[in-house]
Amino acid sequence: MSAETTPDRGNIRAYLVLTTAALCWAANAVFGRLAVGEISPLLLVSFRWLGVLLLLCVFARRYFLQDLPVLRTRWRFVCTMGALGFAMFNALFYLAAHTTTAINLGILQGAVPIFVIIGMFAVYRTQVTKIQLAGVLVTIIGIIIVGSGGSLTRLAALRFNAGDLLMLAACALYAGYTVGLRRRPAVSSLGLFTAMVAAAFLATLPLVSIEAMLGQLQWPSPKGWALIAMITLFPSFLAQICFLQGVTLIGPNRAGVFVNLVPVFASILAVIFLQEAFEYFHAAALIFVLGGIWLSERGKAE
């Protein structure tokens, strides 16, 4: 009896932590839009990971020191994952927030599971069924709808919002991070997360330097500091720990699917807190993106 109930409890725990992560990431779309004009995007990324690193020095120091011997042998992995999955993903995300809506940010973030499927096939030759392939194509239709703003003219001319394209690039990076977690070292989630956050913060320093040299550095306003605190606590600290734990419990493929909750949560939060208009093409895109991910997940079970 206990052998049967243990997997179920593990699944329930995974579902809870992954849903929490999705909600925090959805809130990040709102935070990103609110930060426009309050702090420059690359400085925001740097402060974000500095804040998380300080928190981890308090709460996860023991785990990091315990795992340090193993982490040293995998320093290239740690640096790559932190730089691309954390620093560069967020840099593109907050840059995208300057030229697209929070609803678009959330819907396009739903493309991550599809990129994960493609990445798992490319790297590990994980089997892709016909139903999964259909799901990929359906999701792409949703991405095209939101990217074109529901405009046939823009679609025919292949003109997409720059922010939407940046967000898609960010999604590809995070999918690569998710796929890479399959090769994570045998250490605790908190120890690994601390090491990757340190790498992410160091990776942001050249980005901030470039922003300053271009004359685009903006020191945070009082509202900017408040947003830094919110972003540090929720999408950065809580969400990442929850996602790492979810991957540990049910694996990267199944964990990646929970990102499909981000478009739903982000759309709701954007309408409530930013008074953004939820247009007909957003609804159509959401249906295609979520439908495509549903097909992809259904295909795995067959």
Encode pLDDT of 231-255 as tens digits. 999 998 899 789 878 888 887 767 7
pLDDT tens digits, 20-54: 998 998 999 999 999 999 999 999 999 999 999 99
Q: Which tokens hold the place of 182?
A: 């399959």
Encoded amino acid at 38, one letter: E
Give the burial class of 87: count Cβ atoms within 10 A of its Cβ; 0-12 exposed, 13-18 middle, 19 or more buried. Answer: buried
Q: How confident is the model at residue 4 (pLDDT cuts 50, 70, 90)?
A: very low
Determine the length of the chain.
302
Q: Is residue 161 part of a domain?
A: yes
Q: Is residue 2 part of a domain?
A: no
pLDDT at 135 over 50: yes
Q: Is residue 7 part of a domain?
A: no
Whole-number pLDDT of residue 249? 85
Q: Which residues of 241-265 are buried (b: 16+ CB within 10 A; e: fewer)?
A: bbbbbbbbbbebbbbbbbbbbbbbb
Q: Is residue 6 part of a domain?
A: no
Closest CA to 259 of 149, 108, 134: 108
Q: Is residue 236 part of a domain?
A: yes
pLDDT at 144 over 90: no
Whether this prediction's pTM lies above 0.85 is answered by no
Q: Is residue 153 part of a domain?
A: yes
Encoded amino acid at 149, one letter: G
Q: Is residue 52 part of a domain?
A: yes
H helices then E strands: how many in the chain? 16, 0
Residue 124 belongs to domain spanning? 13-301
**Mean pLDDT on 223-238:** 95
Q: Is residue 250 part of a domain?
A: yes
Integer angstrom CA distances of residue 59 from 85, 186, 234: 22, 20, 15
Contact 171, 107 (CB under 8 A): no
Q: What is the mean pLDDT of the chain?
A: 86
> How far apart are alpha carbons 154 and 70 in whole angstroms?
51
Q: Which residue has the tokens 């990776």?
A: 203
Encoded amino acid at 192, one letter: L
Please give the tally of structural domains in the chain. 1
Whole-number pLDDT of residue 6? 47
Three-class secondary structure of residue 63 per DSSP: helix
